[in-house]
A and B are shown apart, each in its own frame.
Chain A
Amino acid sequence: MNIELTAEQKALQQEVREYMTTVMTPELLEEMKIPEYKEGGGPEFRKQYARMGADGWIGLSWSRELGGRELSHVEQYIFTDEVVRSGFAYPFLTTEAVTPVIAANANEEVREEVVGGVRDGKVVIAIGYSEPNAGTDLASLTTKAVRDGDDWIINGQKMWTSLANFADYVWLAARTDPDPAKKHKGLTMFLVPTDIAGFSHTPVHTLGVRTNATYYSDIRLPDKYRVGEVNGGWKLITGQLNIERLSLFTHGQVDALYQGVCHWAAETPSPSGGSLIDQPWVQHNLAKVRSGLEVVKLICWKQAWAMDQGALDMADASVAKVYGSEFFVELYRLLLEVMGQAGTISADSPGAVLRGKIEFRWRVGSILTFGGGANEVQRDIIAMAGLWMPRTR
């Protein structure tokens, strides 16, 4: 039992942290003020993403055969943690969750095209799972793919297809068996190029970021873009959920917010004399954040470590998801309380603190409590897998 980073791990952390300062150029920071480009997709984002590819930073966890460095999960987490901390809109779901699945299951020609493109920082993939009537109950999705000679004809609608407005492909889950024995058995995965005829998207403006509704209208998709077995999509979807979670909750991003508020409170005078940080109520909130953050760090490390051991516990994974998502929301509130009215001022207005980042994080915070498997479902899993309690109904 030794819960600290090794010297090599610390060196990697430092290396990534330093490199990312060169990625977050003033031009990129400027570009990210435009709501359209907040989550990436602008020309400066494209430039820096491609530079990360050229410098060999993409796909570190992949096999050497694919051009990766076969990093352990712990090292991969350290990389992820630092990239998220930097604020760069790195497309983790593309690089860590979807691409390895494509590499293992796609037709050779498509594999070259997509995996190579991602490795070079030229390809971004959007996730097409959710539909207007299929959220947490994903297996009830109805987007259809029907075989027609060497092609598939795809019809349907997806919801919350983030990044689809600039992505190169959508990683699409479609129903290929309309009447399977069990509804999760009739699904197949496809890669849909976003420049294909019949694909369109409209923006959905959320509390925080822009996302999209995407439409698939009589798309004729060559069979080479099918990934994995026909009707074998479910295990490709669920197989990468844990990896996905490892990039949703990281310590660095919120630790940086906490430290930013600490500095701000130390520099900001209190009306009753001294600095804001001398006030007991401010100290109370900061200490609450600090003690909760410690667990975020430890949970993330333990998850990554357990994945390296090949022993990720099902209940533990759900614990991480529930704790992480609910604590993040609590943290935003505790830090915003310290800032008070100043916390409400948006990035471009005079008087904004920390470029309005915390208020913005709060806006997107609730996505994580229902997204990635609603927390109610996670609690069901904890009760069953962790405590052997009977299934609720």
Chain B
Amino acid sequence: MDFNIADELKSVQELARQILADFTEVEQLKQVEQQEQGFDEKLWGALADAGLLGIDIEETLGGTDLGFYALTALCEEVGRTVAPVPAIPVLVSAAGTLRRFAAAGQKENWLPGIADGSLLVTAATEEYNNDNPANPNCRAEAVEGGYALSGTKTCVPAASQSRRILVPATTGEELVVALVDPAAAGVSLSPQVVTSGETRHELHLDKVQVPDAEVVATGGKALDAMNWVQQATRTALSAMALGVCDKMMRMTGQYTSEREQFGRAIATFQAVSHRVADCYIDVECLRLVTQQAASLIDQGRPADEASTIAKIWCGDVTHRVSQASQHCHGGTGVDRDYPLHRYCLWARQIELSAGSSAQLTAQLGQAIGAAYSSP
């Protein structure tokens, strides 16, 4: 048992924190928010130059191969600065899956470009009323030399800037995971403005031809890939939430220590300080379950239950810390000129992505029921 964070990882996290902080001054964030894509390409380039986009990509493909745990540490830093970059969809959901499940040629096509920041690949893991990528409604029809995909995915991040979108579909008998070119015939992208302020896309596929060369996995391997992407995405979202919540809580601690009412700092009222202390407890709980899930995935160990529990905590803690921070800030918290609101918006976005606490609690309960019912 070792909770120690290796020195190498600490310096990576430090580096990421520095670069992200440099690019996320309020004025810079406002500027990026004016743009339609809401994506800071300069920041993405700076992260690439520092070798941070290839943390979980093999060295032979241009990465630094520090592993999945290190990647979640980057996600935490992205959360801490609410930086407008698609770290989770590109680096975790897409690149992480390609690294582990794609053929050598596919990896060579895409991973070096992701690592050096020259291209994006994203993943379409959610459908309407269905956030399980291992059980999609999207259809894959076997055709000469590949598959024809039809169906609808929702809230796809970074879809319009990506060269490929990782899409799970089913033939009715088996799962197919393929890379879809957004420029291919039959693909339509409709912008969706979401809580975080980003523009995401509804991805509609109408008999989109995907050649065999772009099929990442089928059958059991595709199922493994989609189970992995779900666990990894939930864990990465929890890590990002950790950064978001830790920062919100610290902003609140500082604000209440400075804000005076009735002739004293409001933090000297126990009713106020205890609410912030409760955030601290929540954040520590979230940290522990996230670290556990991330280290299990890092070692290639089973992480279904651990990542589910992490995301349950993630959903609860984002909500509670966000509301407490808003409340303790009074009017300042809702003012769009003050940075807190961005964190609150992201907290809600993360909470509702890849499975809510209520839904995952029900799933965990079903799994417990099944485990104890079996003879």
The closest CB in chain A to the CB of B311 belongs to: A291
The closest CB in chain B to the CB of A286 belongs to: B368
Stretch in contact with the other chain, from A31-39, A83-91, A299-307, A359-367? A299-307
Q: Does B193 contact A (CB under 8 A)?
A: no
Interface hits, A271-289 → B, CB 8 Å: 275, 277-278, 280, 282-288
Check A283 against B299 for contact (C-beta < 8 Å): no
Complex Cα distance A390/B270, Å?
10
Stretch in contact with the other chain, from A62-70, A155-163, A345-353, A378-386? A378-386
Check A379 against B4 for contact (C-beta < 8 Å): no
Complex Cα distance A277/B285, Å?
27
Q: Does A256 contact B (CB under 8 A)?
A: no
Interface hits, B272-298 → A, CB 8 Å: 273-274, 276-278, 280-281, 284-285, 288-289, 291-292, 294-295, 298
Check B1 against A287 for contact (C-beta < 8 Å): no
A287-B361, A288-B361, A383-B253 known; A3 and B267 CB under 8 Å? no
The closest CB in chain B to the CB of A9 belongs to: B1
Q: Within the complex, what minimum Cβ distance (angstroms) separates B358 from chain A?
A: 9
Complex Cα distance A390/B267, Å?
7
Check A383 against B281 for contact (C-beta < 8 Å): no
Complex Cα distance A332/B115, Å?
49
Complex interface bits, A224-268 against B, C-beta within 8 A gives 1, otherwise 0: 000000000000000000000000000000000000001101100
The closest CB in chain A to the CB of B368 belongs to: A286
Complex interface bits, A3-36 against B, C-beta within 8 A gives 1, otherwise 0: 1111001000000000000000000000000000
Q: Does A2 contact B (CB under 8 A)?
A: yes
Check A382 against B285 for contact (C-beta < 8 Å): no
Q: Does B75 contact A (CB under 8 A)?
A: no
Check B268 against A391 for contact (C-beta < 8 Å): yes
Check B365 against A3 for contact (C-beta < 8 Å): no
Q: Does B331 contact A (CB under 8 A)?
A: no
Check B295 against A323 for contact (C-beta < 8 Å): no
Chain A CB count within 10 A is highest, among B269, B362, B365, B366, for B365
Check B1 against A305 for contact (C-beta < 8 Å): yes
Q: Which one of B253, B267, B361 contacts A291 once the chains associate, using CB atoms below 8 Å? A: B361
A3-B295, A387-B280 known; A265 and B3 CB under 8 Å? no
Check B281 against A382 for contact (C-beta < 8 Å): yes
Which residues of B are found within 8 Å of A4, using beta-carbon distances?
A: 1
Complex Cα distance A291/B295, Å?
18
Check B4 against A1 for contact (C-beta < 8 Å): yes
Complex Cα distance A277/B368, Å?
8
Complex Cα distance A294/B6, Å?
24
Q: Does B250 contact A (CB under 8 A)?
A: yes
Complex Cα distance A356/B288, Å?
32
Interface hits, A366-383 → B, CB 8 Å: 376, 379-380, 382-383
Q: Does B300 contact A (CB under 8 A)?
A: no
Check A376 against B274 for contact (C-beta < 8 Å): yes
- Size of chain A's interface in residues, with CB distance under 8 A? 52
Complex interface bits, B1-28 against A, C-beta within 8 A gives 1, otherwise 0: 1111110010000000000000000000
A280-B365, A291-B313, A380-B273 known; A5 and B1 CB under 8 Å? yes
Stretch in contact with the other chain, from A42-50, A146-154, A171-179, A314-322? A314-322
Q: Does A74 contact B (CB under 8 A)?
A: yes
Complex Cα distance A285/B9, Å?
38
Check B365 against A1 for contact (C-beta < 8 Å): no
Q: Does B350 contact A (CB under 8 A)?
A: no
The closest CB in chain A to the CB of B272 belongs to: A392
Q: Does A389 contact B (CB under 8 A)?
A: yes
Which residues of A are found within 8 Å of B273, using beta-carbon distances?
A: 379-380, 383, 389, 392
Q: Does A393 contact B (CB under 8 A)?
A: yes
Chain B CB count within 10 A is highest, among A2, A74, A277, A316, for A2
Interface hits, B146-181 → A, CB 8 Å: none
Check B288 against A322 for contact (C-beta < 8 Å): no
A1-B69, A278-B373, A319-B281 known; A390 and B268 CB under 8 Å? yes
Chain B CB count within 10 A is highest, among A275, A280, A298, for A298
Q: Does B249 contact A (CB under 8 A)?
A: yes
Complex Cα distance A298/B284, Å?
10
Q: Which one of B253, B313, B361 contacts A388 once the chains associate, using CB atoms below 8 Å? A: B253
Complex Cα distance A283/B369, Å?
6
Complex Cα distance A280/B369, Å?
9
Check A3 against B368 for contact (C-beta < 8 Å): no
Q: Does A219 contact B (CB under 8 A)?
A: no
Q: Does B265 contact A (CB under 8 A)?
A: yes
Check A291 against B292 for contact (C-beta < 8 Å): no
Complex Cα distance A1/B253, Å?
29
Complex Cα distance A70/B262, Å?
54
Q: Which one of A302, A380, A390 contacts B288 once the chains associate, using CB atoms below 8 Å? A: A302
Which residues of B are found within 8 Å of A275, using beta-carbon distances?
A: 373
Q: Does B128 contact A (CB under 8 A)?
A: no
Complex Cα distance A32/B194, Å?
60
Q: Which one of B1, B9, B265, B365 contacts A390 once the chains associate, using CB atoms below 8 Å? A: B265
Check B309 against A290 for contact (C-beta < 8 Å): yes
Q: Within the complex, what minimum Cβ distance (angstroms) separates A120 from chain B?
A: 32
Q: Does A110 contact B (CB under 8 A)?
A: no
Q: Within the complex, what minimum Cβ distance (angstroms) separates A44 from chain B?
A: 33
Q: Does B318 contact A (CB under 8 A)?
A: no
Check B249 against A387 for contact (C-beta < 8 Å): yes
Check A295 against B313 for contact (C-beta < 8 Å): yes
The closest CB in chain B to the CB of A4 belongs to: B1
Check B253 against A3 for contact (C-beta < 8 Å): no
Check B1 against A301 for contact (C-beta < 8 Å): yes
Check A283 against B288 for contact (C-beta < 8 Å): no
Which residues of B are found within 8 Å of A291, using beta-carbon distances?
A: 289, 309, 312-313, 361, 364
A288-B361, A383-B273 known; A323 and B285 CB under 8 Å? yes
The closest CB in chain B to the CB of A379 belongs to: B277
Q: Does B118 contact A (CB under 8 A)?
A: no
Complex Cα distance A121/B273, Å?
45
Q: Within the complex, what minimum Cβ distance (angstroms) separates A264 from chain B?
A: 9
Q: Does B256 contact A (CB under 8 A)?
A: yes
The closest CB in chain B to the CB of A279 belongs to: B369
The closest CB in chain B to the CB of A289 belongs to: B368
Check B313 against A3 for contact (C-beta < 8 Å): no
Which residues of B are found within 8 Å of A301, using beta-carbon distances?
A: 1, 3
Complex interface bits, B34-78 against A, C-beta within 8 A gives 1, otherwise 0: 000000000000000000000000000000000001000000000
Check A393 against B268 for contact (C-beta < 8 Å): yes
A265-B372, A283-B365, A323-B285 known; A386 and B277 CB under 8 Å? yes
Q: Which one of A282, A284, A392 contacts B270 once the chains associate, using CB atoms below 8 Å? A: A392
| Cβ-closest 4 pairs across A and B | A283-B365, A387-B253, A287-B365, A298-B288
List 15 contacting pairs A-B, 8 Å CB cutoff, sorted by A: A1-B3, A3-B3, A3-B292, A3-B295, A4-B1, A286-B369, A287-B361, A294-B309, A299-B284, A319-B284, A322-B281, A383-B276, A383-B277, A387-B250, A389-B253
Identify 4 new A-B residue pairs, CB closer than 8 A, beyond the known A1-B294, A287-B365, A294-B306.
A298-B292, A301-B3, A383-B267, A388-B257
